[in-house]
Amino acid sequence: MSNPLRAAIPALFALAGAAGLLASKQAPQPKPVVIAYVGGFRGLVKDPDAIAVEKLTHINYAFVDVQHGRAWLTNEATDTINFRKLNSLKTRNPDLKILISIGGWAWSENFSDAVLTEAGRKLFAHTSVDIIRKHKLDGVDIDWEYPGIPGEDGNVYRPEDKQNYTLMFQALRASLDSLEKETGGKYLLTTAVGGGRNFIEHTEMAKAQQYLDYVNIMSYDYKTNPKGISGHHTNLFGSTEDPEEASTHRSIEMFKAAGVPEEKIVMGIAFYGRGWTVGSDTARGLNRQATGGARGGGYSYIKDSLPAKGFERHWDKRAKAPYLWHPGQRIFISYDDEESVKEKCHYVNKHKLGGVMFWEYSSDPKGYLLDAIDKNL
């Protein structure tokens, strides 16, 4: 006599398999984001209609200032025009999200004071969201450089920034949630973060990420000192035996260890180069004592102009990064190009990260690197 339960097992497996297939069709893996920082701090955005929004998911408008404890449009006349023109780009990409990015290197001096108290945090959050409401934008990005540690000369920072950084996001999320109830829309909250351990040690990323949609790692500017050691400034991996050498991979691993989920991590790509003059022509200038800075420039300029001026391109297999070397002038330039962008996009896909962001759109007006992102991500 047959066992009814045993007979039913294949049907149960088939049903479970069908349910799993249906669930996978209903919940596809989110596509990686492509976030462009677009600068409005210079005034009017140059030729906004030329922005290839079909290849972007988000534009972070840089920057909004912090003044008198408030999110502040220092250049309101041009900012207002820029918001209107950027919003008009949604006719070409209805899914495009436009966020205000508050702070940046030059406008982070007042964050610490603004979010020091609960009342201050509520005011800052309220005024940030007021800008979103008024200009029909899609969210807030915070670029505080940096909580708890020095940034630009004169920036205010204090030990309490570590906790207040988290509480600031809590207040912002609450204000954005209120706006969602008011309008029925969905509003994003993201942040740009420094790529070093120092940033992690002075924040509570495991707590802060609970309020955030994305954590944009500024995985560039690893080398900036014109009188320091030359080297890669936006390398995917380390180029030396030093386990503490800064790299994109190391930054990502540190933020994961600090409690940020992979799917919220967004990798930074540099659309510009950094250069040094060096005292020695050994190793083609890589990891050598610098005697001063040299112009790097945006990628369109690097690609189109520098080879004709005597610069030779080389590839660091270990770092997965290119560099230029001028043997006569002993100038070393670190940058991202199409090959390194391809490697970074493959890394994002392999590790199921949130996506990529880049600074800054106008540095590559011919779109060489955005095309590489679009092709490989």
What is the tens place of the pLDDT at every residue in 320-337?
999 999 999 999 999 999
How far, in Å, CA of 338 to CA of 354, rounded? Answer: 20
The pLDDT of residue 233 is above 60: yes
**Residue 181 pLDDT > 60, yes or no?**
yes
Q: Is the per-residue pLDDT at 194 higher than 50?
A: yes
* pLDDT the model gives residue 18: 46
Residues labelled catalytic: 145
The Cα–Cα gap between 86 and 34 comes to 16
Provide mean pLDDT across the span 208-229. Answer: 98
Sketch out the chain's domains with CATH numbers. 27-270+337-376 (3.20.20.80)
Neighbours of 306 (CB within 10 A): 22
For position 280, what pLDDT does the model report?
A: 85
Average pLDDT score over residue span 106-131: 98
Whole-model pTM?
0.92
| pLDDT, position 6 | 46
Tokens 């020091």 sit at which residue?
116
Q: What is the pLDDT of residue 26?
A: 53
pLDDT band at 28 (very low <50, low <70, confident <90, very high): low
Q: Locate all alpha helices (DSSP H) within 95-204, ordered by sequence.
A: 111-114, 118-135, 161-183, 197-201
Average pLDDT over residues 35-43: 97
User: What is the pLDDT, as a whole number, of residue 281?
Assistant: 85
Q: How sure is the predictor about 175, in pLDDT bands with cuts at 50, 70 and 90?
A: very high
- Segments in 40-117 forming alpha helices (H): 76-88, 111-114
Q: Looking at residue 148, what is its pLDDT?
A: 98
**Do 306 and 362 meet the contact criterion of CB atoms below 8 Å apart?**
no
Does pLDDT of 293 surpass 70?
yes
